[in-house]
Amino acid sequence: MSIHTPFIDDAPISTLTDWAALESPTRAVDAINAMASLVEQAAGDALAGERIAVAGFGDMLILRGGPQNGKPPGLLLGHLDTVHAIGTAATGLPIRRDGMRLYGPGLYDMKAGIWIALQALLAQTMMRPIIFALAPDEEVGSPGSRAITEDLARGAAYALVLEPAREGGGCVTCRKGVGRFEIDVEGVAAHAGVRHEAGRSAITEAAHQILKIEALTDYAQGLTANVGLVNGGTTVNTVPQHCRFTVDIRAPTPQLCNTAARTITSLTPITADTRLTVRGGIARPPYERREANVALYRKAQEIANTLGLPFHEAPRTGGGSDGNFTAAMGIPTLDGLGADGAGAHTLNEYIDLTTLDVRARLIAGLLETL
């Protein structure tokens, strides 16, 4: 006797296995473009495909479907890149099925989300024209594709983002803004044994600034400042001339983002004869929990209920997505609509196969009614 699972026809598993096997980290331009081709192939003739070259990255893939009825389009957002280096499938994260879990690099974040959106688009029951935009550079903050996404979003009725669901099916109605900065400190080099007093340590100066920057962290307000990389000095017996460090800030409102950014860009040296150069700024504006986003969530919740799909609104976390761009433009945005699963950005990344098909039906239901 065979045991019937709620879903599983093998076609999606073999497609997703192929997609995971084509490992596509952000900087692997050829792999990103090959991934775009696989998605185009899966879309077949039903959707019109367009590729836009993004300087320094692979192509942005844009698929268009739905009736050409003059209504403002709906926008679906996804990305072709993953955080996993090529070779991850052969070593740390082999592609394998274990019960109703499918493991593999980039499946949860977010190749299975692409598959879900594609099924919904191929169902061909849309209220309006639909644009599905797939960025090549999302995992590094979408520096190259941001302007394209924003162009596509102008005048869109809504944006649905196929980033992974929060574990247990949670969707996302808000995200923090993200700021990235790189700070160069220039001091004065000297022999540490012979002329120590003539030196001005770039590392000491960086240490002062790092403490000031990290003191911006205010958990009560949801603001965090993290110095994640520091690089400085040449030898143990030299007063260091150079030090460079990077800062990541996360904050839930534009005010908090901008205040923190201003503090960082206007830092001044504490040590005499040292110099600071600050580059960077707000990479992703905050995606605030506006009523229009919550209304989209309620609509999705209704459809999920009729499908018997566990669904809820997840609390805000610090991770950004391309939904930050559309939300900040005032486009009603609902995110976390991709696959359920866990382990994004880790070697335990997997998707939950039991809800894959029903989550595609949820997106189809949204495209039908929105």
The site for Zn ion (CB under 5 A) is made up of 109-110, 163
Tell me which DSSP letter residue 240 carries: -
Shortest approach of Zn ion to residue 128 CB, angstroms? 25
Q: Report which residue's Cβ sits closest to Zn ion.
A: 109
Q: Which is nearer to Zn ion, 242 or 345 (CB)?
A: 345
Give the whole-angstrom CA distance, residue 315 versus residue 171: 9
CA 54 to chain centre: 17
Of residues 269 and 318, the one with the C-beta less far from Zn ion: 318
| Residues in the chain, overall count | 370
Cβ neighbours of 59 (radius 10 Å): 21
Instruction: Determine how many CB atoms are found less than 10 A away from the CB of residue 167.
Output: 14
Select 288 or 322, whichever has its Cβ closest to Zn ion. Answer: 322
Query: Toward Zn ion, which CB reaches closer, 83 or 230?
Result: 83
Q: For residues 272-311, b (16+ Cβ closer than 10 Å) or e, as one string?
A: eebebebebebbbbbbbbeeebeebbebbeebbeebebeb
CB of 287 to Zn ion, least distance (A): 14
Of 163 and 205, CB closest to Zn ion: 163
Strand ranges in the chain using DSSP code E only, listed in sequence order: 48-53, 59-65, 74-79, 96-98, 101-103, 130-135, 158-161, 170-171, 177-186, 190-191, 224-232, 238-239, 242-251, 275-284, 312-313, 333-334, 341-342, 350-352
Nearest residue (CB) to Zn ion, 23 versus 163:
163
Whose Cβ is closer to Zn ion: residue 110's or residue 327's?
110
Q: How far apart are CA 341 and CA 362, in angstroms?
A: 16
Calculate the alpha carbon distances from 318 to 174, 259, 273 in Å: 10, 17, 37
Residue 202 and residue 69: Cα distance in Å, rounded? 61
Angle formed at CA 180 by CA 226 and CA 320, multiple of 5 degrees: 90
Count of C-beta atoms within a 10 Å radius of residue 78: 28
| Cα–Cα distance measured from residue 22 to residue 35, given in angstroms and rounded to the nearest whole number | 7
Q: Which residue, 126 or 314, is less far from Zn ion as judged by CB?
A: 314
> Which alpha helices (H) appear in the chain, and where do they start and end?
10-21, 29-43, 112-122, 146-153, 202-214, 254-265, 291-307, 323-328, 356-369
CB nearer to Zn ion: pick between 110 and 116: 110
Q: How far is the CB of 109 from Zn ion (least distance, A)?
A: 4
Q: Tokens 């958990």 — which residue?
A: 219
